[in-house]
Chain A
Amino acid sequence: DTAVSQTPKYLVTQMGNDKSIKCEQNLGHDTMYWYKQDSKKFLKIMFSYNNKELIINETVPNRFSPKSPDKAHLNLHINSLELGDSAVYFCASSPNNYEQYFGPGTRLTVT
């Protein structure tokens, strides 16, 4: 009965590949986010969706494309992976744009 789940937990892939990370929340929240946490632990917001609508789209390469098929899911697709994309990606959800509940993270390693 995990509140915010992400798959996969680990992802190792080669440069140039395309990969997806999935996120699901069973909390009934309206807002979902994607964050990138680099090796220095800096957390940077990438995207925010509210009721399946894109609200925030930070300065992120257009190789990153989020998709929200419904309110409970927010997936992240990455094209043409680069070495600099290696990081931990966290999905989060929020009931009312207040406290955020983070998923366990997906550690992406690009070789």
Chain B
Amino acid sequence: GQQVMQIPQYQHVQEGEDFTTYCNSSTTLSNIQWYKQRPGGHPVFLIQLVKSGEVKKQKRLTFQFGEAKKISSLHITATQTTDVGTYFCAGQQSWGKFQFGAGTQVVVTP
């Protein structure tokens, strides 16, 4: 079955530094979504990537979808304390079924 692997599992970042989290699917995806969950909160939709090679930016966040639509990445520049939380990717292979990655838990030290 479809598997979505997300690395790293934990990311300790100094404030102001950049980091990247990666999502790798065992099968070609129709689209991939990214979510952020703050501690004690619920997942909040960030973005969806649909096209092969697509790149989207949201302020300091850059999302990419690989050419083969199996890999995606989230790059955050100049990390701030507000970036703390767990970032999930969710790959969709067939209608209605999303496979979430295990998440990257981000801790920011001032």
Contact = CB atoms under 8 A, between A and B. Distances in A.
Interface of A: 31, 35, 40-45, 48, 50, 55-56, 90, 92, 97-105
B96 A97 contact: yes
Count chain A CB atoms within 10 A of each CB in B37, B88, B98 and give the residue with the most: B98
A100 B37 CA distance: 13
Interface of B: 31, 33, 35, 37, 41-45, 48, 86, 88, 90, 92, 95-100, 102-103, 105
- Smallest CB-CB A-B distances: 8 pairs: A43-B100, A102-B42, A99-B45, A48-B96, A55-B96, A102-B43, A105-B42, A56-B96
Contacts of B44: 102
B interface majority secondary structure: strand
Nearest to A88: B42
Contacts of A48: 96-97
B96 A50 contact: yes
A102 B88 CA distance: 13
Given A99-B33, A100-B33, A45 B97 contact: yes
Given A99-B33, A100-B33, A43 B43 contact: yes
A100 B96 contact: no
A45 B102 CA distance: 13
A90 B43 contact: yes
B89 to A, nearest CB: 11
